[in-house]
Amino acid sequence: MSSNTKHVSLDTLASLCKRRGFIFQTSEIYGGINGFWDYGPAGAELKRNIKDAWWRSMVQNRDDVVGLDSAIIQHPRTWEASGHVEGFTDPMVDCKKCKGRWRADQLPDTKCPQGGPHDYTEARKFNLMFETYVGAIHDENSKAYLRPETAQGIFAQFGNVMAVARQKIPFGIAQIGKAFRNEINPRNYTFRSREFEQMELEFFVKPGTDQQWHEYWVAERLKWYQTIGLPAEHLHQYVYKKEELAHYASACVDVMYDFPFGTQELEGIAARGDFDLRRHQEYSGKSMDYFDQETNEKFIPHVVEPSAGVDRIALAILCEAFTEEWVPTAEAAGQPAGNATRSIAGRPPIPAEAGKPPPQGYELRTVMRFSPRVAPVKVAVFPLLKNKPELVEKSRQVFEMLRSRWPAFYDQTGAIGRRYRRQDEVGTPFGITIDFDTLKDDTVTLRDRDTMKQVRLGVSELPAKLGELLS
């Protein structure tokens, strides 16, 4: 199925995300705050599924990676050692004409980003770390930072984890958690936010094996994206040139995705040498040496770091899943109004053409074609009519049976066609309808979100069938 990821406008996507409970502007009732977002019921599940898939593949299914959950606020020396206090800056200018504040390296050539002529101040460095104070006294001594990345919590705990993990190098420490950056211009919906979540692995290797492990992780990570529904043709690699690398790094590859606003980074995979551990050793006075019992060598391990953003992956999945198509109207399909089982009338959906009205006898359907692995709800259960207690009772029984195995949703409100459409927009792969035949022969209809085709099968067959379809 071809996707229209290049074509969905962020406004259209944002409107669906609000309507179906994926993403809301944070504190919307107070007018919002730029660069911060809330995830609604469907968005919270989507993010959980992304994080669970990452954790399963990076930690649970591997012998050589363990997990960590470190604090958001670390000792301020952490950020001196990491180089963030000194160097985590973007160049910033003020425009005296529009009074806007902009990132100097992202300005259009001629006009101010607001559209008119510009009159910029000299660029100055702006540190992206959010500052806070620990304790009752607010002064330089109590200043701390909200972490701008989860990675440093891992480096700072390298010794403690080594002592308990019974691991030998090569091995990794993984962490998922919030990170905060006071971005000068948050933009492209959730793509560049001020609060976001990272999924980072620090994979410690023997010096000299960096390149081989870097190649390994680039390949692994590219494969993983395909398992969550981002197809290879929309994924790209940006390989850093030597002169673009940090002085301590030997390689870096960004995994990029074709967003509607351009091909942009989802994840960076960097071979960072021993820079981080060496700096923490220097600043803390604690040894970061590893003793290799096989070779009797002592060394500071080198690190390969795949570092991904949950919110960017969620946005990519939302863009990829968003599909608009034309489906025969109920009347044209000879079915009761509001019944969306039209493809069985022999006319399959056709891709919608942007800006054009549907042809005669068709109407627009919006459907989120999530991979079942990340879909917020896997199966929805509907009684055909809500005012028939026998149908409702049977539907609740089927729902209770299924929800113990999969995230399921029960909906009895509104015409059945409209209930299907709601689930199409949430991206629920399967819908089950309990009708009057169910009461006679214990069969139900199972509707496929993408083809809208329905098959009839016994209630007792449902768990096995869904297990097969959702695997």
Contacting positions for ligand GAP (CB under 6 A): 149, 151, 181, 183, 192-193, 196, 198, 200, 265-268, 305, 307-309, 311-312
**CA distance linking residue 366 with residue 386, whole number of Å:** 25
**Of 238 and 406, CB closest to ligand GAP:** 238
**Of 221 and 312, CB closest to ligand GAP:** 312
Residue 363 burial (C-beta neighbours within 10 Å; 0-12, 13-18, 19+): middle
Contacts of 364 (CB under 8 A, 6+ apart): 324, 325, 326, 327, 352, 358
Residue 241 burial (C-beta neighbours within 10 Å; 0-12, 13-18, 19+): exposed
**CA distance linking residue 105 with residue 125, whole number of Å:** 11
Give least dist CB 194 to ligand GAP, A: 7
User: Do residues 226 and 187 lie in contact, with contact meaning Cβ atoms separated by under 8 Å?
Assistant: no
Tokens of 242: 């030597």
User: Do residues 10 and 189 lie in contact, with contact meaning Cβ atoms separated by under 8 Å?
Assistant: yes
Residue 296 burial (C-beta neighbours within 10 Å; 0-12, 13-18, 19+): exposed
Give least dist CB 303 to ligand GAP, A: 10
**Of 196 and 204, CB closest to ligand GAP:** 196
DSSP state of 392: H
**Of 52 and 292, CB closest to ligand GAP:** 52
**Of 82 and 433, CB closest to ligand GAP:** 82
What is the SS3 assignment for 407? coil
**Roughly how many angstroms between the first and final C-alpha of the chain, as a whole number?**
19
Residue 289 burial (C-beta neighbours within 10 Å; 0-12, 13-18, 19+): middle
The residue at minimum Cβ distance from ligand GAP is 309
**Of 264 and 433, CB closest to ligand GAP:** 264
Give least dist CB 307 to ligand GAP, A: 4
What is the SS3 assignment for 327? strand
**Of 275 and 420, CB closest to ligand GAP:** 275
**CA distance linking residue 132 with residue 138, whole number of Å:** 9
Strands 379-383 and 362-368 turn out to be unpaired
User: Shortest CA distance to 277 belongs to which of 71, 74, 82?
Assistant: 82
Give least dist CB 220 to ligand GAP, A: 16
Tokens of 284: 């803390």
Give least dist CB 201 to ligand GAP, A: 10
Give least dist CB 84 to ligand GAP, A: 10
**Of 238 and 410, CB closest to ligand GAP:** 238
Q: What DSSP string describes 164-228?
A: HH---SSEEEEEEEEEE---SS-BTTTTB-SEEEEEEEEEEE-TT-HHHHHHHHHHHHHHHHHHT
**Of 20 and 103, CB closest to ligand GAP:** 103
Give least dist CB 440 to ligand GAP, A: 53
**Of 181 and 449, CB closest to ligand GAP:** 181
Residue 188 burial (C-beta neighbours within 10 Å; 0-12, 13-18, 19+): middle
**Of 37 and 399, CB closest to ligand GAP:** 37
Give least dist CB 255 to ligand GAP, A: 8
Q: Is the peptide bond before 407 cis (omega within 30 degrees of 0)?
A: no
Give least dist CB 172 to ligand GAP, A: 14
Give least dist CB 265 to ligand GAP, A: 5
User: Do residues 272 and 248 lie in contact, with contact meaning Cβ atoms separated by under 8 Å?
Assistant: yes
